[in-house]
Structure 1
Amino acid sequence: MFVLLSIFMTLPPLLLLGAESPNAVAFAESAGIIFGLGMLGILIAYGKPRDLKPRYMFVLTVSSWLVMALLSALPFYLSDAGISVTDAVFEATSGITTTGATVLTGLDQLDQDLLLWRSILQWIGGIGIIGMFVAVLPFLRVGGMRLFATESSEWTDKALPRMKTLSRGLLLVYCVFTMIAVFTYWISGMTLFDAFNHGLTSIATGGYSTSDLSMGKFESELILLEATLFMILGSLPFFLFVREMHGQRGVLWRDQQVRLFLTLLLLLTLGMLLYRAIITDGFDIVSGSITTLFNVTSILTTTGYASEDYSAWGSLAFSMFFFLMFVGGCSGSTSGGMKIFRFQLSLIVLREQLMRLLHPRAVLTRNFNGRAVSDEIIASMIAYTFIFLLCFLGLTLVLAAMNLDFVTSLSGALSALTNVGPALGDIIGPAGNFATLPEQAKWALCVGMLLGRLEILSVVVVLSPGFWRS
Structure 2
Amino acid sequence: MDGTGVKAKEAADSTKVVGLVIGALLVALAVLMAVPVLAEVVAQSGDWEAFLFSSVITGFVGGALMLANQTDNRDLTHRATFLVTSLGWLSVAAFSGLPFVFSQVDMNYTDAFFEAMSGVTTTGATVMTGLDRVPPGLLLWRSLLQWIGGIGIIVTAVAILPFLRVGGMQLFRTESTDKTEKVLPRPGQIAVAIGEVYLLLTLLCALAYIVGGMTPFDAMNHAMTTVATAGFSTHDASFGYFDNPFIHWTAVIFMISGAVPLALYVQTLRGVGETLWDDPQVRGFISLLVGVSIVMALWLAARGDYGFFEALTLTAFNVTSIVTTTGFASTDYTLWGPFAIMAFFILMFIGGCTGSTSGGMKIFRLQILAILFRTQVRQTLYPHVAQTIRYGERTVSREIVFSVALFVFVYLASMLVVALALAAFGLDLVTALSSAVTAIANVGPGLGHQVGPAGNFAGLPDGPKLIMAFAMLLGRLELLTVLVMFSKDYWAR
**TM-score normalised per structure 1:** 0.97
2:368 to 345, 353, 361: 345
2:481 and 2:180 map into 1 onto residues whose CA distance is 29
Per-residue deviation, 1:160: 9.3
Deviations 1:287-335 (A, max 9, x none): 2211111111111111010111011111111100000000000000001
Q: Quick check: 1:308 aligned with 2:338? A: no
Q: Quick check: 1:358 aligned with 2:384? A: no
* Residue identity matched to 2:437: L
* Residue identity matched to 1:323: I
* Residue identity matched to 1:357: T
Q: Which residue of 2 aligns with 1:278?
A: 302
Alignment of 1:25-424 (within 5 A): 25-155=49-179, 161-248=185-272, 251-281=275-305, 283-424=306-447
Q: Note the aligned Cα RMSD (angstroms).
A: 1.5
2:414 and 2:119 map into 1 onto residues whose CA distance is 21
Q: Which residue of 2 aligns with 1:450?
A: 473
The 1:403–1:42 alpha-carbon spacing in structure 2 relative to 1, beyond 3 Å, is same
Number of residue pairs matched by the alignment: 469
1:121 and 1:157 map into 2 onto residues whose CA distance is 29
2:94 and 2:384 map into 1 onto residues whose CA distance is 55
Q: Decide which moves more: 422-431 or 145-154.
A: 145-154
- Preserved contact between residue 183 and residue 267 of structure 2 (Cα < 8 Å): no
- Preserved contact between residue 13 and residue 21 of structure 1 (Cα < 8 Å): no
- Preserved contact between residue 423 and residue 430 of structure 1 (Cα < 8 Å): yes
Question: Secondary structure of the equivalent of 2:360?
Answer: coil
- Preserved contact between residue 431 and residue 447 of structure 2 (Cα < 8 Å): yes
2:413 and 2:176 map into 1 onto residues whose CA distance is 30
1:187 and 1:46 map into 2 onto residues whose CA distance is 50
Q: What stretches of structure 2 of length at least 5 have no aligned partner?
A: 1-24
Per-residue deviation, 1:48: 2.6
Per-residue deviation, 1:249: 7.3
Per-residue deviation, 1:380: 1.1
* Residue identity matched to 1:39: G
Deviations 1:186-213 (A, max 9, x none): 1211111100100100000000000110
Per-residue deviation, 1:280: 2.5
The 1:364–1:42 alpha-carbon spacing in structure 2 relative to 1, beyond 3 Å, is same
- Preserved contact between residue 230 and residue 327 of structure 2 (Cα < 8 Å): yes
Deviations 1:142-175 (A, max 9, x none): 1100011121232366899331221111100001
- Preserved contact between residue 153 and residue 166 of structure 1 (Cα < 8 Å): no
- Preserved contact between residue 20 and residue 112 of structure 1 (Cα < 8 Å): no
1:20 and 1:358 map into 2 onto residues whose CA distance is 73
2:40 and 2:461 map into 1 onto residues whose CA distance is 34
Question: Secondary structure of the equivalent of 1:155?
Answer: helix
1:427 to 434, 444, 450: 450
- Preserved contact between residue 95 and residue 125 of structure 1 (Cα < 8 Å): yes
2:47 to 19, 23, 36: 23
1:43 and 1:158 map into 2 onto residues whose CA distance is 38
Per-residue deviation, 1:38: 1.9
The 1:105–1:153 alpha-carbon spacing in structure 2 relative to 1, beyond 3 Å, is same
Per-residue deviation, 1:369: 2.5
Q: Decide which moves more: 3-12 or 323-332.
A: 3-12
**TM-score normalised per structure 2:** 0.93
2:125 and 2:163 map into 1 onto residues whose CA distance is 30
- Preserved contact between residue 293 and residue 315 of structure 2 (Cα < 8 Å): yes
- Preserved contact between residue 397 and residue 409 of structure 1 (Cα < 8 Å): yes
1:65 and 1:429 map into 2 onto residues whose CA distance is 27
The 1:15–1:111 alpha-carbon spacing in structure 2 relative to 1, beyond 3 Å, is closer
- Greater RCO between the two (CA within 8 Å, min separation 6)? 1
The 1:21–1:245 alpha-carbon spacing in structure 2 relative to 1, beyond 3 Å, is farther
2:182 and 2:291 map into 1 onto residues whose CA distance is 42
* Residue identity matched to 2:303: I
- Preserved contact between residue 400 and residue 406 of structure 1 (Cα < 8 Å): yes
Per-residue deviation, 1:80: 2.0
Q: Decide which moves more: 368-377 or 41-50.
A: 41-50
* Residue identity matched to 1:238: L
2:340 and 2:277 map into 1 onto residues whose CA distance is 29
Per-residue deviation, 1:129: 0.3
